[in-house]
Structure 1
Amino acid sequence: MSDEYEEGKRAGIHPLIVVFSVLIGLWLFVALIVPSSKNKQAAGTEGPTVPMIEDPEAAPVIFKVQATVPEMNAVSIVVPAQATDSQVIGLLKRLKKERLAGSLTDLVPATTPGHTLGDHSVADIYVVSDPKYAQTEVIKTLTRGAHAPGGLYPDAVPFEVAMEEIRGHYRIDMNNTGAPDAGSIGFADESGVHSKHYRKLF
Structure 2
Amino acid sequence: MNHEQDRTAGPSNQESTSPEPGPYEEGKRAGAHPLAVVIGIIFGLWLLMWLYIPSSKQKPAVAPEPTPASVMEEPDAAPVMFTVKTSIPEINAVGIVVPPQATESQIVGLLKRLRDARLANQLSAMLPATSPGHKLGDHAIANIYIFSDAQYARPAAIGVLARGAHAPGELYPQAVPFETAMEEVRGHYRIDLNDTGHPDQASLGFADESGVHSKTFRQLF
TM range (shorter): 0.7 to 0.9
Separation in 2, partners of 1:165, 1:70: 21
Are 1:191 and 2:210 matched, yes or no?
Answer: yes
Contact 1:122 / 1:172 at 8 angstroms: preserved in 2? yes
Amino acid of the structure 2 residue aligned with 1:165: E
**Corresponding residue SS for 1:93:** helix
Higher relative CO (CA 8 A, sep ≥ 6), structure 1 or 2?
Answer: 1
Separation in 2, partners of 1:97, 1:182: 13
Sequence identity percentage:
61
Contact 1:69 / 1:136 at 8 angstroms: preserved in 2? yes
Say which of 146, 171, 178 aligns to 1:159. Answer: 178
TM-score (structure 1 length as normaliser):
0.77
Query: How far 1:52 sits from its partner (Å)?
Result: 1.2
Structure-2 residue corresponding to 1:31: none
Are 1:201 and 2:199 matched, yes or no?
Answer: no
Deviations 1:24-62 (A, max 9, x none): xxxxxxxxxxxxxxx6xx564xx5322112211110011
Say which of 158, 163, 182 aligns to 1:144. Answer: 163
Separation in 1, partners of 2:72, 2:104: 9
Are 1:114 and 2:114 matched, yes or no?
Answer: no
Deviations 1:68-99 (A, max 9, x none): 11110000000000100111110000000000
Amino acid of the structure 1 residue aligned with 2:106: Q
Are 1:181 and 2:200 matched, yes or no?
Answer: yes
Query: How far 1:156 sits from its partner (Å)?
Result: 0.7
Separation in 2, partners of 1:194, 1:118: 29
Separation in 1, partners of 2:103, 2:193: 29
Count of residue correspondences: 160
Contact 2:68 / 2:217 at 8 angstroms: preserved in 1? no
Contact 2:89 / 2:132 at 8 angstroms: preserved in 1? no
Are 1:169 and 2:188 matched, yes or no?
Answer: yes
Contact 1:48 / 1:199 at 8 angstroms: preserved in 2? no
Amino acid of the structure 2 residue aligned with 1:188: A
Query: How far 1:114 sits from its partner (Å)?
Result: 2.1
Amino acid of the structure 1 residue aligned with 2:114: L
Query: How far 1:109 sits from its partner (Å)?
Result: 0.5
Residue segments in structure 2 that go unaligned for 5+ positions in a row:
1-61
Separation in 2, partners of 1:178, 1:84: 30
Residue segments in structure 1 that go unaligned for 5+ positions in a row:
1-38
Structure-1 residue corresponding to 2:105: 86
**Corresponding residue SS for 1:151:** helix
**Corresponding residue SS for 1:169:** strand
Structure-2 residue corresponding to 1:132: 151
Deviations 1:129-181 (A, max 9, x none): 00011011100000000000111111111000000000000000001000100
Structure 1 segments, 4+ long, off by >4 Å, are none
Q: What root-mean-square deviation, in Å, do the aligned CA atoms of Structure 1 and Structure 2 show? A: 1.2
Larger radius of gyration: 2
Separation in 1, partners of 2:166, 2:64: 17
Contact 1:48 / 1:198 at 8 angstroms: preserved in 2? no
Separation in 2, partners of 1:150, 1:88: 31
Contact 1:183 / 1:201 at 8 angstroms: preserved in 2? yes
